[in-house]
Amino acid sequence: MARIRNRRRTLDHVPSLTAYVLATGRRIAPFGDTVGEVRLGNRSLAEQQDLVFRAIGARVQRVERLPEKLDTPSLVLLDDVYLSYVMLEQFVALAHERGSNARLALEKLGGPSNRVALMGVEEVDDGLSRKLELYGLWYVADGDGAASSSAAELSTRLDSTCRPLIVPRQEITEKLRMPKVPGSDQDAVEVPVTARVVGHVRHWVHVLRLNQMLIGVSLWDHIRQNRGRVRRHFIRAFFATLFGDRSLDRRRILARMFGGLNVIEEGARIHPTAEVRGSFIGRNARIGAGAKIRSSMIGEGAVITEDACINHSVIGERCLVLRDTYMLGCVAYPESTLSNYKVQLSVFGRRSFLTASVALVDAKFHGNVKVQHEGKIEDTGSPFLGVCLGHDVVLGAHVTVQAGRAIPNGYEIVTPPGLVLRELPLGLPQKKPLVVENGTLRPL
């Protein structure tokens, strides 16, 4: 995927920084991976962190504890935090302007929101009747209070000298339409489209939601880095909507503008009848006849076969998505093989195998989907959520998995043998219903 260019003029006055990435020791179930190995936008979280720090010219040091003396000014980031380049850039610029220790804060959204569910984000009042969400990123102008801190000690030591620094959100929201279920007034999953993203990765649900947001982050990065070409595209799209469609509808104009933005890397092959809109297609990927790729990221060497539909999903390197598969809001780690008529809001680990007749439940009729987290059953804040398959999981024909479940690495789950027709007895009545029982047939 596209790389981030060096820092913009907004940071020209900021001195060179050292970025300390502090280990939390966190692992993400069901994969068992360290948090730095989690896949976000077809890169590891550690690679994403290094990328944004290098883009602002910071030197990165990964540490178990902070050194006795910090370089100042410096940044301290918990290793389970993802943040986009624009979020980091804005925070650093504002913190340098303030000239004192600061901690990244966002204003809490009004109304119900599932964005920070399970993240353990601290909430504080700012004294102006606003609720703030505090994240694991600090700007240190005076580092004496943080010396020799571990991740567990850091918040207490730094927060006594670090005031919350609010970075405005600046976002629009895209709705992934879902069927309305009994007991809920929700009929969509909202995904922010913004260049300013930050979040902790503490559960597979965060892997899912941050990947969904990363598609928008990558789109905005592409626009920012290719302003001239994108500006010309936007002008053509506006006039095509105005004169071709004879419409000034805002949504139609935006759909044509952003839908026509694609990043196609070297060696990718796209069939002439395939439709690709607002997506990133990796090197040597193949998109088959009649396939539809919308607002998605397709990894290097991945194969999307005939008539598959990939919508707002991230498909890893060398994945194989078979014919007529429909995926909405999903994440697939590398080398997975996926075939299903409808799979939504789910995560698939490395080399997972999904057959066409598997049923992955992705909604709850009454209340929100709950998941297991740190030994407890926790509310995700949404009635819509699929499942998570660990690495090397195989799901055979007709297996059904309830919403919110996470299947451990290496499990191979198949249909009970008694439901598979193995013996065909002779002499059974014709033109009357027969059922499979214990591997054979009997009259109903």
Q: Are residues 293 and 337 in the same domain?
A: yes
Q: Is residue 34 part of a domain?
A: yes
Helices (H) and strands (E) in the chain, counts: 6, 42
Q: Are residues 147 and 59 in the same domain?
A: yes
Q: Are residues 437 and 357 in the same domain?
A: no
Q: Are residues 444 and 386 in the same domain?
A: no
Query: What's the CATH code of the domain at 318?
Result: 2.160.10.10
Q: Are residues 428 and 403 in the same domain?
A: no
Q: Are 189 and 329 in contact (CB under 8 A)?
A: yes
Mean residue pLDDT of the chain comes to 86
Q: Is residue 207 part of a domain?
A: no
Read off the pLDDT of residues 253-288 as tens digits, 9 standing for 90 and up.
555 555 567 889 999 999 999 999 889 999 999 999
Looking at the 3D structure of the chain, how many domains does it have?
A: 3
Q: Which two tokens stand for residue 273?
A: 């009848």
Report CA 263 to chain centroid distance, whole Å.
Answer: 19
Q: Are residues 30 and 159 in the same domain?
A: yes
3-class DSSP assignment, residue 108: coil
Q: Is residue 247 part of a domain?
A: no
Residue ranges making up the domain that contains 403: 262-413
| pLDDT for the residue 416 | 87
What sign does the dihedral 110-114-115-118 (CA atoms) show? positive
What does pTM read for this prediction? 0.87
Q: Is residue 195 part of a domain?
A: no
Q: Are 1 and 44 in contact (CB under 8 A)?
A: no
Pairing of strands 347-348, 331-332: parallel
Q: Is residue 234 part of a domain?
A: no
**Residue 281 φ then ψ, to 5°:** -115, 120
Q: Are residues 400 and 421 in the same domain?
A: no
Final residue before a domain boundary, out of 169, 189, 208: 169
Q: Are residues 84 and 57 in the same domain?
A: yes
- The span from the CA of 129 to the CA of 113, in Å, is 19
Q: Are residues 19 and 156 in the same domain?
A: yes
Q: Specify the length of the chain in residues.
A: 444
Q: Is residue 220 part of a domain?
A: no
Q: Is residue 188 part of a domain?
A: no
Cα dist from 324 to 106, 189, 308, 340, whole Å: 41, 23, 4, 8
Q: Are residues 420 and 408 in the same domain?
A: no
| pLDDT for the residue 147 | 59
| pLDDT for the residue 7 | 47
Q: Are residues 340 and 438 in the same domain?
A: no
Residue found under tokens 């598979």: 420
Final residue before a domain boundary, out of 135, 169, 203: 169
Positions of the chain with pLDDT lower than 70, given as ranges:
1-10, 12, 110-116, 143-152, 154-156, 159, 171-172, 183, 225-260
Query: What's the CATH code of the domain at 92?
Result: 3.90.550.10
Q: Are residues 325 and 270 in the same domain?
A: yes
Final residue before a domain boundary, out of 152, 169, 186: 169
Q: Is residue 160 part of a domain?
A: yes
| pLDDT for the residue 312 | 94
301 Cβ contact partners less than 8 Å away, ≥ 6 residues apart: 282, 283, 284, 285, 317, 318
